Amino acid sequence: MTTRSQPKLAAGHRTRPEPLLSVRDLTMHFPGRRRSSPPVRAVDGVGFDVAAGETLGLVGESGCGKSTTGRMIVRLLEPTSGSVSYDGRDISHLSQRELKPLRKDVQMVFQDPHSSLNPRQTVARIISDPLLVQGSSAADARRRAVELMELVGLIPEHIDRYPHEFSGGQAQRIGIARSLATGPRLLVADEPVSALDVSVQAQIVNLMERLQGELGLAYLFIAHDLSVVKRVCDRVAVMYLGRIVEIGTKERVYAAPAHPYTRALLSAVPLPDPAAERSRERITLLGDPPSPAAPPPGCTFHPRCPKAQEICRTEAPLLRIASPGEARQVACHFPEGA
Ligand code: SF4
């Protein structure tokens, strides 16, 4: 296998201090329906780092802005403001031509494998395409496509088949092979298993973990399923209404969530032990998330928060370290355990 060699990271040392990806104050405000309507604040000042070889999970309810954030990072969407730096270089304002060499380093895996693959192209063409764009010859690109099919667990003899001839899990393997074609260091995976059956989800998660170990990949893993995120991620960032409300190591966030929203999300995750499941407290949130076109003043979570107090209605809490000596950050005036 001639997969581009990348440093393997020893177990337990998957996080490096220097960020590969740095996102700062990233915003995406879509215009309102009418000229006079306020903008829709889909993403409203998001910031985080992802180190080489690390997996950061980006979680939250549907519509919280996590997928929009992923799409801005790979520049499928142009941010309204803020910056995205890759390997120390600000790439937020590069032209599409300037971005071309960087595209091989940062790739995306999409949610719905079948709709993200061109039904009129063979697997050979789908996987080869990013290489042809980067200037590879057709013969080299096809050779590489065969290698990548083996790498992701597909049968190379099926290279001239079309996407509809594959199951959902196999189609996602094709999508992953395509994303690996140029030897990226960072994959932005947008709900990569949520469209798949549970048993197939586990296979794709296993594959992604193996690839990370073999290729030293970093993942931004966008998902709403906190069980999957717990399994694959090193750190977790929780988004609500376009902002990060809690970010920290998986161990700390899952064992002792500090933001009321994180606590509510985690209280809905089924526990494997039936006795623990019966006895645990479920936190039910009031109502639906507000519209990002009209976010509430103060803490945007206050209309649904069981801990809300007067200050929460007027003053937006900053994302900051909740307890001394801890790297975990929380945007709450009254974080749990502070
Ligand atoms: Fe709840 Fe107030 Fe914390 Fe917001 S700042 S999460 S309303 S306690």
Sequential DSSP letters for 258-316: -SHHHHHHHHTSPPSSHHHHHHSPPPPPPSPPPPTTSPPSSSTTGGG-TT--GGGGT-P
Angle among Cα 29, 293, 38 to the nearest 5 degrees reads: 75
CA 155 – ligand 1 centroid, Å: 52
How many residues comprise the chain?
A: 338
Quote the CA–CA distance of 88 and 56 in Å, as a whole number: 18
Quote the CA–CA distance of 41 and 60 in Å, as a whole number: 16
Residue 292 has pLDDT above 80, yes or no: yes
Ligand 1 pocket list (CB less than 6 A): 259-260, 299, 301-302, 305, 307-308, 312, 317, 332-334
Residue 187 has pLDDT above 50, yes or no: yes
**Cβ(215)–Cβ(5) below 8 Å:** no
pLDDT at res. 68: 97
State CA 273 to chain mean position distance. 28
Return the structure tokens found at 320. 């900051």
Q: Looking at ligand 1, which atom is closest to the CA of residue 305?
A: 1
CA 138 – ligand 1 centroid, Å: 56
**Cβ(38)–Cβ(294) below 8 Å:** yes
Of 92-96, 109-113, 192-196, 329-333, highest mean pLDDT: 329-333
- List residues bridging with 30 in a β-sheet: 40
> Residue 166 carries which side chain, given as an amino acid letter?
F
- Mean pLDDT value of segment 237-250: 97
- Mean pLDDT value of segment 188-204: 93
> Residue 211 carries which side chain, given as an amino acid letter?
L
> Residue 221 carries which side chain, given as an amino acid letter?
F
Q: Looking at ligand 1, which atom is closest to the CA of residue 335?
A: 3
Residue 287 has pLDDT above 70, yes or no: yes
Q: Take atom 6 of ligand 1 and give the residue whose Cα is closest.
A: 332
CA 15 – ligand 1 centroid, Å: 31
What band does 14 get if pLDDT is binned at 50, 70 and 90?
Answer: very low
Which top CATH class is 21-31+39-105+184-331?
A: alpha beta
Pocket test for ligand 1, best of 240, 309, 334 (most atoms within 8 A of CB): 334
What does the domain layout of the chain look like in residue ranges? 21-31+39-105+184-331, 120-178
Angle among Cα 164, 165, 168 to the nearest 5 degrees reads: 70
Between 7 and 216, name the one with better pLDDT.
216
**Cβ(245)–Cβ(239) below 8 Å:** yes
- Per-residue pLDDT tens over the stretch 48-102: 999 999 999 999 999 999 999 999 999 999 999 999 999 999 998 899 889 988 8
Among 241, 101, 240, 125, which Cα is nearest to 184's? Answer: 101
CA 308 – ligand 1 centroid, Å: 5
CA 317 – ligand 1 centroid, Å: 8
CA 323 – ligand 1 centroid, Å: 16
**Cβ(90)–Cβ(26) below 8 Å:** no
Q: What percent of the chain has pLDDT over 70?
A: 95
pLDDT at res. 338: 67
Q: Looking at ligand 1, which atom is closest to the CA of residue 261?
A: 6
Residue 254 has pLDDT above 50, yes or no: yes
Mind giving me the DSSP string for 96-117? HHHHHHHHTTEEEE-S-TTTTS
Strands 19-30 and 81-86: antiparallel
What band does 39 get if pLDDT is binned at 50, 70 and 90?
Answer: very high
pLDDT at res. 5: 37
Residue with tokens 């997969």: 3
Quote the CA–CA distance of 173 and 117 in Å, as a whole number: 11
Within 13 Å and on the Cβ side, how many CA atoms surround 106? 24
Q: Which residues of 218-239 are buried (b: 16+ CB within 10 A; e: fewer)?
A: bbbbbbbbbebbbebbbbbbbb
Quick one: DSSP state of residue 55?
A: E
Residue with tokens 């985690």: 266
Pocket test for ligand 1, best of 244, 245, 301 (most atoms within 8 A of CB): 301
Mean model confidence pLDDT for the chain: 91
Cα dihedral 160, 146, 113, 133 sign: negative
pLDDT at res. 113: 84
Query: Model-level pTM greater than 0.85?
Result: yes
**150 CB-near residues (< 8 Å, 6+ apart):** 1, 156
